[in-house]
Amino acid sequence: MLIYTLVFGAPVLVLVIYLNQVHGCWIITNIALAQPSFLFSLFVFLCFSVKLPVYGLHFWLPIAHVEAPTFGSVILARVLLKLGGVGLMRLSDLINTISLKTSLLGYFIVFIIFSRLVCCYQSDIKRLIAYSSVAHIMVIPFLVFSNNVLASQALVLIMFLHGLSSTLLFITVGILYGMFSSRQLILMRGLILSSPLLRMFIIFIFLFTLSAPPFPSYIAEVFFIYSSYILSGDMVYVVLLFVFLGLVYNLN
């Protein structure tokens, strides 16, 4: 995580210092770039994509979650990962979304589906939740590329609700590990007999993660679908497959 932060954060730090020398201030709203270059936009986007993280820059996340204790996973999922979304939202005026969309949209379309497929084949429940975070957060680049009011609302909702759902999931994993002394899904059996209330609670958490109505995450999912349709009409088919695969691994 330290290496990723240094490698992807250093160019943006240099760019920030350069902007301060040119404009004479640190205030984002006072820094106006008529047409940000592609390289500038890419550096800013990659810096905060590592924090999100998106697929391809996520290699540290499953390792960090699996090795961390429950409270460490909660802090990482609820606070630290949100830095990427907040950064992209606050610096959206300094990103040339059109050039980024032209170059990176195909990559994200492929890996938004692939990241869901990876979740379907996980046997370790904590690793499953870590990869589901990557799959869930892969919608953020599409909302950044859409660059409209609806996409901004969807981005805020998804980041906030992901912070809630991932926190509940990791707390539940901590409880289950204490009961079963294992994180393997195949060994977690008999919960309906030993603790039916906890079982019902887990079902509600996964429905919340699935974005099923009447949970508020359903609203965020609808906003994302509309924003994707604005981005490209063909994105509807990708989003439908994305939602279906989410159902598959949540029912697992």
Q: What is the mean pLDDT of the chain?
A: 87
pLDDT over threshold 80, residue 30: no
Phi, psi (deg, nearest 5) at residue 31: -100, 110
Name the band, by pLDDT with cuts 50, 70 and 90, for residue 34.
low
Phi, psi (deg, nearest 5) at residue 132: -65, -30
Residue with tokens 């079902």: 203
Whole-number Å distance between alpha carbons of 65 and 174:
12
Please report, for the chain, how many H helices and E strands are present, in that order: 13, 0
Number of domains in the chain: 1
Model-level pTM greater than 0.85? yes
Whole-number Å distance between alpha carbons of 193 and 107:
45
Q: What is the mean pLDDT of residues 228-246?
A: 87
User: Tell me, what DSSP letter sits at residue 184?
Assistant: B
**Comparing C-alpha atoms, which of 103, 2, 120, 106 is closest to residue 50?**
2
Task: Indicate the helix (H) or strand (E) that contains 68.
Answer: none
Give residue 8's pLDDT.
Answer: 86
Model pLDDT for residues 162-194, shown as the tens digit of each residue: 989 989 999 999 999 988 888 898 888 888 888
Residues spanned by the domain of 186: 2-251
Q: Give strand ranges (E) for 80-219.
A: none
pLDDT over threshold 70, residue 32: no
Whole-number Å distance between alpha carbons of 170 and 205:
11
What count of residues does the chain have?
252
Put residue 145 in one of left, alpha, beta given phi > 0 → left and psi -120 to 50 → alpha.
alpha
Bridge partners of 124, per DSSP, are: 184
167 contacts 78 by C-beta, under 8 angstroms: yes
Whole-number Å distance between alpha carbons of 178 and 129:
17
Q: What is the mean pLDDT of residues 61-77?
A: 87
**Which residues lie closer than 8 Å to 166 by C-beta, 6 or more apart?**
77, 78, 129, 133
Q: What is the mean pLDDT of residues 67-89?
A: 87
Name the band, by pLDDT with cuts 50, 70 and 90, for residue 219.
very high
